[in-house]
Structure 1
Amino acid sequence: MNIPRLGALTASVLLTDAAAHLYWLTGRTWPAGDVSSLSLAVLNFEVPFTPRVLVPLVAVLGAGAAAVLVCSRGRGGLPARLVTAAVAAGTLVRAAAGLVWIAGVGADTGTPFYWLNLFLYTPVCVFMATAAALVASRRGSRRL
């Protein structure tokens, strides 16, 4: 398995998520019509899309992406491995929650969130949890 490529793909997903949050920081709400609809589609509950909420999230996503990328290349030492393991754990928890929502607990099947969770959020989180775990377990060689 090409761990550097897997790390780059995982980091790309995290940076894409960070870019979406930066975009929403500008006050735009695409692909939703307003902040309330965006919040319900992304999170299944309403939260403000304010700098106080979005800036720390962008920073965490960026740091996670950097850690996964350097860890996948055998650099960054223990700090990069720990942050990469945290990315794996966080996305695993989100994937597990997504499976609960897919089962119909806490998410109405008629909402955009339900369908986005079913076809996008949960599969991506399963992939990222697996990929980040593989990257974090990397032991110096370029390929496992």
Structure 2
Amino acid sequence: MNRTAQRTGTAVAGLLAADAALHLYWATGLTWPAADGRALSQAVLNADVPFTPPVVLPLAALLLAAAAAVLAHAQGLGGPRTARLCRPATAAVAAGLLLRGAAGLAWACGVGTEPGSTFHLLNLVLYTPLCLGFGAAAALTAGAAGAGSRRPVRDFRRG
């Protein structure tokens, strides 16, 4: 169907999978790219939150599930039941990314963050642009029914 939605959905799924891989890495106790856990937490969240397995493993699982749903929707994988699950999941990913991007715009203006901090800089150059761009890509993908399918998904209840 829509090649653009197929490609953007695949890119969004890739970003989510990469984020999941980073969370799995942090679950090992390593803190790259920060020097320690506190610095990592401040750089990523602007708060002191432990990057321990009970915290990051559920997030990694959620990110992987979201990546699978977006990819399935973008590529038109599975049948009608899969499509009914993956399209709203893709829309939820879009909403979450766009909401984070909107919050990032407020933080960019200095609301709730210290200008000059590592978080403030990363928010300006990385987090907010990624969230807004990939949120828009996920919204485009969510709006394309069975983005990667060659035939429309049929609703067998209607006959």
Normalising by structure 1, report the TM-score. Answer: 0.94
Distance across 2 between alignment mates of 1:33 and 1:131: 33
> 1:29–1:35: 8 Å Cα contact kept in structure 2?
yes
| Unaligned stretches of 5+ residues in structure 1 | none
* SS of match in other structure, 2:105: helix
Deviation at 1:109, TM superposition (A): 1.1
| Unaligned stretches of 5+ residues in structure 2 | 150-159
Deviation at 1:141, TM superposition (A): 5.6
Match of 2:30 among 28, 48, 57: 28
CA, structure 1 residues 139+19, in 2 after alignment: closer, same or farther (shift >3 Å)? same
Matched, 1:10 2:12: yes
Deviation at 1:140, TM superposition (A): 4.0
Match of 1:132 among 134, 138, 141: 138
Cα root mean square deviation, aligned: 1.4
CA, structure 1 residues 140+49, in 2 after alignment: closer, same or farther (shift >3 Å)? closer
Matched, 1:114 2:120: yes
* SS of match in other structure, 1:49: coil
> 1:8–1:69: 8 Å Cα contact kept in structure 2?
yes
State the AA in 1 paired with 2:18. Answer: T
CA, structure 1 residues 49+140, in 2 after alignment: closer, same or farther (shift >3 Å)? closer
State the AA in 1 paired with 2:117. Answer: T
Aligned length in residues:
143
* SS of match in other structure, 1:2: helix
What is the percentage of aligned positions where both structures have the same residue? 52
> 1:74–1:138: 8 Å Cα contact kept in structure 2?
no
Deviation at 1:30, TM superposition (A): 0.8
Normalising by structure 2, report the TM-score. Answer: 0.86
**1:29-68 equivalent positions in 2, closer than 5 A:** 29-68=31-70
Distance across 2 between alignment mates of 1:98 and 1:67: 25
* SS of match in other structure, 1:130: helix
Distance across 1 between alignment mates of 2:146 and 2:67: 19
